[in-house]
């Protein structure tokens, strides 16, 4: 499950097993925060044929008024329209819009149980391709 299913009401945030853990690396303005995760973590997918229920590039868990507004390859910008209490160094969890793109752009996952890292899970079929034999 990912933010597409959450936006359609067929899943909750708790149903989404894959999230991106990002760190707030800058706060250039009161309502603007930069994170150390960009399009290489999230992809740029905003939904099939412009799903109007999807705002931004992911769903920030625990911050209903936050939007992942824009992404470069390595960095993201989050806009929060309330006093969030976020500060540089904070870790935030973001549910990607399309978890398949996120899974395809990494070589491993960190399995977390009850809030603590438990193990590293290798992604064996990254890209779902094999080298052709000639």
* pTM summary value: 0.86
Domain presence at residue 21: yes
Alpha-carbon distance of 43 to 103, in angstroms, equals 10
Domain presence at residue 115: no
Domain count for the chain, please give it: 1
Domain presence at residue 114: no
Looking at residue 132, the DSSP 8-state letter turns out to be P
DSSP-based three-state secondary structure for 102: helix
Q: What is the pLDDT of residues 36-51, one digit of tens each?
A: 999 999 988 876 666 7
Mean pLDDT of the chain: 88
Which residues contact residue 71 at a Cβ distance below 8 angstroms, ignoring those fewer than 6 apart? 38, 39, 42, 44, 57, 77
Q: What is the pLDDT of residues 9-24, one digit of tens each?
A: 999 999 999 999 999 9
Domain presence at residue 91: yes
């Amino acid at each position: 499950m990912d933010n597409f299913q959450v936006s359609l009401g067929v899943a909750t945030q708790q149903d989404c097993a894959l999230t991106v853990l990002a760190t707030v690396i800058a706060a250039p303005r009161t309502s603007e925060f930069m994170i150390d995760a960009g399009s290489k973590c999230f992809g740029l997918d905003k939904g099939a044929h412009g799903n109007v229920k999807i705002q931004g590039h992911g769903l920030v868990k625990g911050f209903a008024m936050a939007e992942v507004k824009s992404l470069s390859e390595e960095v993201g910008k989050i806009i929060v329209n309330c006093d969030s209490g976020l500060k540089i160094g904070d870790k935030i969890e973001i549910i990607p819009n399309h978890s398949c793109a996120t899974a395809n752009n990494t070589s491993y996952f960190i399995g977390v149980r009850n809030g603590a890292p438990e193990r590293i899970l290798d992604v064996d079929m990254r890209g779902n391709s094999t080298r052709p034999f000639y």
